[in-house]
Amino acid sequence: MKDTGETRDTGQQDTFPRQATVLETLQLFTHDIRSAMSDVVGGLRLIDTHDLSAETRTQIDRVRAAGDTLAALVDAALMAAAGETRIHEAEADTRMDAWLSALAGRWSGRAQAERSSFSVDPGACMPHRLRLAQVTLDRIVGNLIGNALNHARGAPVVLVIEGRPGAGVKLRIVDGGKGYPEAVLREVSERGEASPIGAGAGSGLGLRIVAELSRQAGGHLTLENAEVGGGVATLHLPDQAVVWDSAPAAPCAPPDLSGLRLLVAEDNLTNQTILRQLLGKMQAEVVFVADGVAALEVAAREVFDLALIDIEMPRKSGLEVMRGIRAMEEPRASMPLIALTAYVLRDNREAIYAAGADGIIGKPIASGTAFGRAILRHVGRPDGMPGAAEVLGGRIDDSCGVKLDHARFAALMEVAGPDGRAELLERLDEDLRAVRAALDIAVPDKTIGEIRAQTHILIALAGAVGADRLARLAEVLNIAAKRQRLEDFAGLYGPCRAELGDLITHVAAEARAAPVA
């Protein structure tokens, strides 16, 4: 269609300014893909399986688990294609019990279809958590389980957990098939790695993906054939990637949102149903609207503790809704606003925050617990993590996150590769120093907009490299700036600046040690 320079009236404003770039095309496809994935994952979660046969329930569990994995893979791929990393404090930390349960749900159905079986042997000493993204674990272990089922020929496949504190952990996938070809075993044994991705096809490609991902995760892959027959693939993870906790895990109760009144602006009926169920379980009082005009009308006449706003809505976009709320009289103008969106690329985030958002939660919502805790943080309630009072009282320890997750930092360097490592460290050093310099001016001057802008950058940078405690401290400062708690700025920035200084020192040391290309 020829561009006449005119804008067709669709009843809805463009969500973001038009830019004739390849990135714009990616952004448009990104939103549609994520929206479709949200419907798929959400629809599967809403299926009532109680009256179904055991076999059907098994297969639905399989599709649900695979759908969650697919959503995470699509999200990671789209972000990587745009040259970005999606940061969330929970994404690089996987609880073993929940992950193994999801793994069994996915692969038991596949094994049943293959006339085989899949089970998990947790061993005598199973870790509490792994400091790795679940999507990475799913890619590594999923490839190995899928490969084992392909070659098991009806024999059982077992995931065995072996390890102990101080020695790391081994995830062994054992099958009763014919074993690995000698050429594959020889290659892995001689080189300690598989061939680069792209060198060949078929099941060997899966093993190459696993080998590369294992290295990026700070571990390594070994393959062997059992004396009694069958193959054994082992993912070895170092102890710094493992959190050992011998105490029994307490039941994970959903966050308590009782007493909170929330406005949810979301036009998709599936997403409305999911949010209604999630927020209902957390005892929140919720008012739903299905378009931007209705959101502004309800916000103007009623009082809410927080609003969750979809960005892509009929009649008025989420950006327009947030601008409209911020233009209202108090207390409505200062109501916490959280954007619910499939738009998560950098330009989109900047536009969302500029419109007045306090936070962004991507679709589909991966964790109801993290979702509830985010709401608690933005309304000023304790969320199980240290907040302003704890920071000001000097109560900062590892409950606020690790000072630096060395395994995650090493994995980031591995992704950059030998050629890009020095450049990445240089850019990271420059960005961190620029944030510190800007905050050193903005905090004493109590420049709220600049404090919020710089802490948003710091949250992302700290999360990317594994400085979880710094990310949390920056988030606390960000929320204090949003609430205009001017008297707290200096006290909150003190420990944040100290952690930031330590991270800058570490990055500088890594840069000096980086080989020159």
Q: List, for residues 351-380, the tens digit of each pLDDT value.
A: 888 888 888 887 767 667 778 888 888 887
Average pLDDT over residues 420-446: 88
Identify the bridge partners of residue 121 per DSSP, sorted by sequence position.
160
- Please give the residue that has the higher pLDDT: either 292 or 124: 292
Residue 170 near residue 223 (C-beta atoms within 8 A): no
Let me know: does 428 contact 413? Beta carbons within 8 Å: no
Please check the confidence at residue 471 and state whether its pLDDT lies above 60: yes
Is the distance from CB of 120 to CB of 159 less than 8 angstroms? yes
Greater confidence (5 vs 156) lies with 156
140, 246, 468 from 243: Cα distances, Å: 19, 10, 15
Position 291 pLDDT exceeds 50? yes
Strands of 192-255, DSSP E: 220-225, 231-237, 242-243
Beta-strand pair 220-225/231-237: antiparallel
**Phi/psi at 305 (nearest 5 deg)?**
-80, -25
Edge-to-edge strands, sheet with 231-237: 118-121, 157-164, 168-175, 231-237, 220-225
Cα(190)–Cα(167) distance, integer angstroms: 24
What are the structural domains of the chain?
93-245 (3.30.565.10), 261-386 (3.40.50.2300), 390-513 (1.20.120)
User: What's the rounded Cα separation, in Å, for the pair 446 and 394?
Assistant: 22
Six-digit token string for 15: 């969500």
- Say which residue, 332 or 41, is predicted with more confidence: 332
pLDDT band per the 50, 70, 90 thresholds, residue 500: very high
Distance of CA 438 to the CA centre of its chain: 28
Q: What distance lies between CA 344 and its chain's CA centroid?
A: 12
Q: CA–CA separation, 299 vs 277, rounded Å? A: 22
Tell me the pTM.
Answer: 0.51
Query: Residue 302 above 80 pLDDT?
Result: yes
pLDDT tens string 118-132:
888 877 777 888 888
Return d(Cα 207, Cα 201) in angstroms, integer: 10
Give the pLDDT score at 367. Answer: 66
Which pair of tokens denotes residue 131?
């400091």
Question: Considering only CA atoms, which of 149, 135, 150, 139 is closest in space to residue 210?
Answer: 139
pLDDT band per the 50, 70, 90 thresholds, residue 102: confident
CB-count burial class (<10 Å; 0-12, 13-18, 19+) for 38: buried
pLDDT of residue 3: 39
Which band of pLDDT confidence, cut at 50, 70 and 90, is reported for residue 69?
low
Measured over the CA atoms of residue 433, residue 377, residue 243 and residue 344, the dihedral's sign is negative
Distance from C-alpha of 310 to C-alpha of 339, rounded to nearest angstrom: 6
What residue ranges in 266-353 does DSSP mark as E strands? 285-289, 306-310, 337-341
Task: Please give the pLDDT value at position 46.
Answer: 58
Is residue 490 scored above 50 in pLDDT?
A: yes
Least confident of 14-18, 112-116, 261-265, 284-288: 14-18
d(CA 8, CA 32): 20
Nearest to 76 by CA among 145, 139, 156: 139
Tokens matching residue 206: 């899966």
Distance CA 498, CA 464 (A): 18
User: ∠161-166-168 over CA atoms, to 5°?
Assistant: 35
Q: Angle formed by the axes of helices 406-445 and 448-465, to 10°? A: 170
Dist CA 11 CA 5 (whole Å): 18
Distance spanning both ends of the chain, measured CA to CA: 48
- Copy the structure tokens of residue 322: 């947030």
Would the CA dihedral through 353, 354, 357, 362 be positive or negative?
A: negative
Strand partners, 341: 362
Site of tokens 């690790």: 402
